[in-house]
């Protein structure tokens, strides 16, 4: 047992002290902090922008007045009724006297149409407010010609009130669903990339040790099964350490954003009212999903002795993770679909899809318990089979990238046993 803990601490400390762990953790911390304070950062860069002076060339004074009135509430634009020709206005734009010029002309139906001139037109956001204001001017002209009251047009164009009400008392409301959807989406991304990264880390660790012949020394002092689970648990602790750091940074980032009254973005993602049960389920399914895929990754990694072969042999496992993620993304809009329900009980899909259902729906406790039980049993079975394959696989050398080597590894494990 002492050797097991020595292997476990060695795996954990080596990974935590590695440059890759430090770099990825720092970059992810900066990303999390940046996302939680994105609105503040945007305001810092956009708060000091100069007002855009726009020249309007038109023969219809009323259209100019209407357009200017529509943009009065937008402090970023200052309109000026230009008295010169269009060519002269373009020249002044090139010289920097104006940001842009808008030509208002009359089409065949007698309605206003516009042409926008600027030195660069790649940023469509600059012309969009003028386009929208001109659209309102056009609506006003059409309304006046048809003798329709402006209030009538406003009522026609205003969106209809359409509320969603769940009849079941335990069902989530529309507001709760919109908040939960963003949180579940972020959690799915985190779980997906974590399983991919840490699972691949285990398989490459085993392959690297075999390629350097370190495995032959380890086998003589520590049993292969102890090595396997020491690696799995050691890297699991690495993942939980990183997860705890990110949760801590995310919490303080959210608190800071809310204290500065910039929580609109966080509210849209549902981070302002995070339910404790959602975090608990996220941790439970993350740990179980990791154990399932980590055991499989260690088993596959023991079949190869070269680092380049490790990437190839774990490809089927990665495809399972990708498939689970794609189904989960589909389920965000249709969490009650029968296909989503069925796949949530398939062990390799359960960590992502059942977490999705728990976050989006109010499902019975027995369904969650059943899925977790199936997942735990699957981990135990895979662990037992994986331990036998690992015991024989660590003794196999040479080029290998085929799952047919499972049989050979099992035969070797029987001889060792």
β partners of residue 54? 79, 100
Q: Taking 80 as the threshold, does the pLDDT of residue 184 lie above it?
A: no
User: Where does residue 130 rank: exposed (0-12), middle (13-18), buried (19+ CB within 10 A)?
Assistant: buried
Look at 332 and 156; give whichever has higher pLDDT. Answer: 332
pLDDT score, position 372: 93
Output DSSP code: residue 5.
H
Residue-wise pLDDT for 14-48, tens only, equals 878 888 788 888 888 888 777 777 666 666 665 54
Q: Taking 60 as the threshold, does the pLDDT of residue 262 lie above it?
A: no
Q: Taking 90 as the threshold, does the pLDDT of residue 373 lie above it?
A: yes
Q: Taking 60 as the threshold, does the pLDDT of residue 100 lie above it?
A: yes
- Could you tell me which of 136, 171, 189, 160 has the C-alpha nearest to residue 361? 171
Span 95-117, average pLDDT: 88
pLDDT score, position 408: 61
CA 43 from centroid of its chain's CA atoms:
23
Span 275-292, average pLDDT: 80
Output DSSP code: residue 402.
-
Q: What are the extents of the domains in the chain?
A: 50-157, 170-416
CA 258 from centroid of its chain's CA atoms:
21
Question: Mean pLDDT lowest for which of 81-90, 188-197, 264-273?
Answer: 264-273
Q: Taking 60 as the threshold, does the pLDDT of residue 271 lie above it?
A: no
pLDDT score, position 401: 47
pLDDT score, position 370: 93
| 3-state SS class at 119 | coil
Span 107-127, average pLDDT: 84
pLDDT score, position 377: 93
pLDDT score, position 273: 56
Span 107-130, average pLDDT: 84
pLDDT score, position 254: 67
| 3-state SS class at 153 | helix
The pair phi, psi for residue 377, each rounded to 5°, is -60, -40
Q: Taking 90 as the threshold, does the pLDDT of residue 274 lie above it?
A: no
pLDDT score, position 168: 64
CATH architecture assigned to 50-157 = 3-Layer(aba) Sandwich (3.40)
* Crossing angle of the two packed helices 224-259 and 2-17, in degrees rounded to 10: 40
Span 238-263, average pLDDT: 71
Span 112-122, average pLDDT: 87
How far apart are the C-alpha atoms of 368 and 14, rounded to whole Å?
36
Buried/exposed code over 170-200 (b: 16+ C-beta within 10 A; e: otherwise): eebeeebbebbbbbbbbbbebbbebbbebbb
Residue-wise pLDDT for 312-332, tens only, equals 777 788 888 888 888 888 888
Pairing of strands 77-81, 100-106: unpaired
Block residue for tokens 């860069």:
45
CA distances from 312 to 199, 203, 316, 407 (A): 13, 11, 8, 18
- Mean pLDDT, the chain, rounded, equals 76
Residue-wise pLDDT for 57-79, tens only, equals 888 888 888 888 888 877 778 88
């Amino acid at each position: 047992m002492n050797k097991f803990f020595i292997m476990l601490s060695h795996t954990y400390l080596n990974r935590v002290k590695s440059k890759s762990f430090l770099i990825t953790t720092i970059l992810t911390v900066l990303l999390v902090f940046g996302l939680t304070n994105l609105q503040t950062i945007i305001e810092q860069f956009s708060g000091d922008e100069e007002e855009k002076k726009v020249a309007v060339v038109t023969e219809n004074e009323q259209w100019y007045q209407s357009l200017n009135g529509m943009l009065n509430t937008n402090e970023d634009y200052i309109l000026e009724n230009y008295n010169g020709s269009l060519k002269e206005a373009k020249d002044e734009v090139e010289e920097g006297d104006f940001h842009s010029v808008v030509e208002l002309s009359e089409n065949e139906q007698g309605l206003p149409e516009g042409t926008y001139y600027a030195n660069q037109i790649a940023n469509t956001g600059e012309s969009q407010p003028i386009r929208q204001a001109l659209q309102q001017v056009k609506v006003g002209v059409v309304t006046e010609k048809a003798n329709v009251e402006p209030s009538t047009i406003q009522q026609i164009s205003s969106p209809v009130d359409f509320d969603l009400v769940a009849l079941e008392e335990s069902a989530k409301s529309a507001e709760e669903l919109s908040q939960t959807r963003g949180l579940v989406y972020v959690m799915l991304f985190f779980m997906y990339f974590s399983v991919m990264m840490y699972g691949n880390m285990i398989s490459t660790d085993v392959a690297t040790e075999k390629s350097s012949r370190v495995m032959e020394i380890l086998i003589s002092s520590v049993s292969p099964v102890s090595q396997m689970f020491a690696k799995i648990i050691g890297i699991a602790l690495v993942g939980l350490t990183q997860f705890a750091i990110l949760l801590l940074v995310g919490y303080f980032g959210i608190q800071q954003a809310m204290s500065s009254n910039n929580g609109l973005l966080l509210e849209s993602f549902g981070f302002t009212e995070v339910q404790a049960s959602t975090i608990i389920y996220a941790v439970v399914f993350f740990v179980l999903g990791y154990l399932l895929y980590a055991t499989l990754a260690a088993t596959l990694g023991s079949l190869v002795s070269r680092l380049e072969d490790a990437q190839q042999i774990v490809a089927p496992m990665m495809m399972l993770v990708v498939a689970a993620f794609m189904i989960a993304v589909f389920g965000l809009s249709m969490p009650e679909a029968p296909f989503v329900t069925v796949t949530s009980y398939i062990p390799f899909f359960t960590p992502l899809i059942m977490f999705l259902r728990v976050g989006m729906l109010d499902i019975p406790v027995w369904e969650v318990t059943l899925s977790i039980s199936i997942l735990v049993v699957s981990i135990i079975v895979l662990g037992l089979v994986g331990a036998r394959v690992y015991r024989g696989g660590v003794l196999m050398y040479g080029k290998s990238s085929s799952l047919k080597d499972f049989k050979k590894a099992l035969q070797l494990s029987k001889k060792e046993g």
